[in-house]
Amino acid sequence: MSATPRPPDASRWTWLPAWARPLEHERRGLGSLRLAESTILILLGVFLAVATVNDLVVLRVNENHRLRADLHTWRTVTGHDYVNISTEQDIKGYTTRDVVCGNVSPGAPGSRNQICLIVTGPVRGGERAVEGGYYLPAYRSNLKTERFWCFGSATTDELCGSASAPPGSQRIALKGERR
Amino acid sequence: MSARGRAGRWTLLAGALAVVLLAATAEIVLDGAIGHSPLIPKSPQIAGWLSGVGERLGFRVFLIALLAYTAAFAGMLALAQRISVRFAIALTAVLQLIVFVGPVLLSTDVFSYIAYARMGVEHGINPYLHGPDAIVGDPVYRYVGTDWTKVATAYGPLYTLLSYPLAPLGVVGALWGMKLEALLASAGTLALTWRCARMRGLDQRFALIAVGVNPLWVIYGLGGAHNDLIMTLLIMAAVALTLSSERGDAREAFAGGAVIGATLIKATGIVLLPFILLSRRRLAPLLGAVAVAVAVALIAYAVFGVHGVDIISALNRDSAFVSIDGFPTEIAHLFGKPGVFPVDHDLLKAALVLIVLHLLWRTWRGYDWVAASSWTLLAIAVTSTWVLAWYLLWSLPLAAVSRDRRLLVAVFAVQGLFIVHQLAPLLEPVS
């Protein structure tokens, strides 16, 4: 063990018990303290790792549950049993609001006009509530300038721009829709 | 194998790792430049000239690039003592520049900074009293994050004053100004980290890589042009001044002033002051701190009124926020709770107080004050219910120049867990 250097004014602290006196450099030989600290740090690290992995799995499972409900909701509401449906989750904002889009008629993904439903809230009976939606032209991105025929919350949130529906576009009948 | 052959092999490996780092960064920046991504905030087209190459940035591509970057970063750290100084500096600089020329990544915060500046300069509205929704008609308003439109600024008055000259430049001009500020702050922090590592007899290349190539530093911190980098610059200035000063030297006072400067950017900077005072046991750092605090407080009071100097109320407000990435939230989920309850906030504060008291005692006994400051900043981030990637950068440069290597391992471990928590979208997709 090396000798512990003392600050020049060490005499000022002689009224303190030896363990509490200031040192210029930390005393070597505090092995037990370092060992205790390291043990606590390792335990804490393991605990945080378990919490993180648990959260990751739980979070993912919950999202999967939600996504399945979104797809089921879209199929039920539109009456189309299509496989290729896209879902955009609000993961950044941590809300339960998802936008689910799919073709209005059979065809390759995105090759027809799309109907997008805004679904929200908890999963009940394998489905979630539809609060609104809009249509998109074929082969177009989901941008405000492209959307048309907003309904429900999409209208109040002004999600549609001034785009008009492409010629020949048809609305599809939605289950539970008030006309 | 001869020594020359081994050196050649390490150089080759370092080159391969550098290619991965550059490719992953370029992938994120080029794909992000297209916009229309959940990872890219709504923003003016500042990187449109890059948008012809990539594809729209999705979670999967981003996370794979982030994982590849992180793995290459770990490898580069392991090789840090085998690469040349020139290679380390060039790699760090190129990574920073790639992110600088690209779009704003992963956060809308920079638009809040601009909004607060424009509120004060263009509209005569005190950003310490009102949120950006006071300037709904301003062109920056549409870019401010929806969670923050009603929230008055929580940043220190020095930062708000620094941002004011950028306000008249318009949204795009101010955005480039903020990005440049972040780049310069990053470069300054890295230069000071290098200097401090040299003063402490540590390997400068390792310290530089640990900070300047760190994925959270490059992608999240610099990518989002976060003002946390300005705080770390002043923190490292305080460290460099303290380490280079003799007893009674004016640099001790400047160090105290730099700590207060950091605090007046973001309040957590104050953490360093008690550890410097305990370590040096001189009045000079305290006098420097008081002088800067009084000077800035007077200016802040003149410009913003009493609310501009009331950092405590902003801290109290922000400490009540809860983020999904916070460790307290993860622990709550582990115990089957839906989230963090008020009593948990009290328990976390109590835990933080105990940690700080222990570190103060250790510093009094001679423990490295730089490490103690870094542990405290790390403890604040881990016990905070509102954790963002850039909060995990506060302790990083200090850890890179500390004498306690457990600290750097702990910082990397916490950062690693944060990255792991981001990987949810990579897990099995639904059918």
- Smallest CA-to-CA distance from B212 within B228, B189, B196 is with B189
Residue A91, min C-alpha distance to chain B (Å): 8
- Tell me: the pLDDT tens digits for B147-183? 788 888 888 899 999 999 999 999 999 999 999 999 9
- Write the pLDDT tens digit of every residue in B271-326: 999 999 888 888 888 898 999 989 988 888 888 887 777 767 766 666 667 777 78
Distance CA B333, CA B217 (A): 28
Kindly identify which residue of chain A lies nearest to residue B365, measuring between CA atoms. A22
Question: What band does B136 get if pLDDT is binned at 50, 70 and 90?
Answer: confident
What confidence category does residue B431 fall into, taking pLDDT thresholds of 50, 70 and 90?
A: very low
Q: Which residue has the higher pLDDT, A92 or A53?
A: A53
Q: Which two tokens stand for residue B169?
A: 């430049």
> What residue of A is the nearest CA neighbor of B407?
A41
Q: Is the Cβ–Cβ distance between A51 and B334 less than 8 Å?
A: yes
| Structure tokens belonging to residue B209 | 């890589």
**Does the pLDDT of residue B89 top 90, yes or no?**
yes
Residue in A with minimal Cα distance to B325: A52
- Cβ-nearest to A41 among B364, B410, B423: B410
Instruction: Please tell me which residue of chain A has the smallest CA distance to B42.
Output: A143
pLDDT greater than 50 at residue A179: no
Q: Please answer yes or no on whether B413 and A56 come within 8 Å at the CB atom.
A: no
Residue-level pLDDT at B297:
86
Which range is least confidently modeled, A135-144, B42-51, B123-132? B42-51
- Is B382 a residue whose pLDDT tops 70? yes
How many Cβ atoms sit within 10 Å of the Cβ of residue B65? 22
The predicted model gives B16-41 an average pLDDT of 89
- ipTM of the assembly? 0.81
CB contact A64 to B (< 8 Å): yes
Q: Is the pLDDT of residue A1 over 60?
A: no
Which candidate in B334, B420, B423 is best for mutational testing of the A interface (most A CBs within 10 A)?
A: B334
Q: B331, A58: Cβ pair inside 8 Å?
A: no
What pLDDT, on the 0 to 100 scale, is given for residue A176?
66
What is the nearest CA distance from B367 to chain A, expressed in angstroms?
A: 5
Among the partner residues A25, A45, A52, nearest to B420 by beta-carbon distance: A52
Q: What is the pLDDT, as a whole number, of residue A5?
A: 43
What pLDDT does residue A13 have? 65
- Pick from A127, A163, A120: nearest CA to A142: A163
* Chain-chain contact of B366 with A22 (C-beta, under 8 angstroms): yes
Which two structure tokens, joined as six digits, stand for B313?
A: 């109320």
The pLDDT of residue A6 is above 60: no
Nearest residue of chain B to residue A62 (CA atoms): B424
Question: What distance in Å separates the CA atoms of residue B376 and residue A40, rounded to the nearest whole number?
Answer: 16
Mean pLDDT rounded to a whole number for chain B: 88
Single out the residue of B23, B74, B28 nearest to residue B47, CA to CA: B28
For residue B160, the one-letter residue type is T
Q: What residues in B contact A48, CB-CB < 8 Å?
A: 327, 330-331, 382, 413-414, 417
pLDDT above 70 for A150: yes
Give start and end residues of each alpha helix (H) in B83-129. Answer: 85-101, 109-122
* Whether A148 contacts A134, CB under 8 Å: yes
A134 neighbors A159 (Cβ within 8 angstroms): yes
CB contact under 8 A, B331 and A53: no
- Range of A6-20, A107-121, B302-316 with top mean pLDDT: A107-121
B423 or A50, which is more confident: A50
Q: Is the pLDDT of residue B366 over 90?
A: no
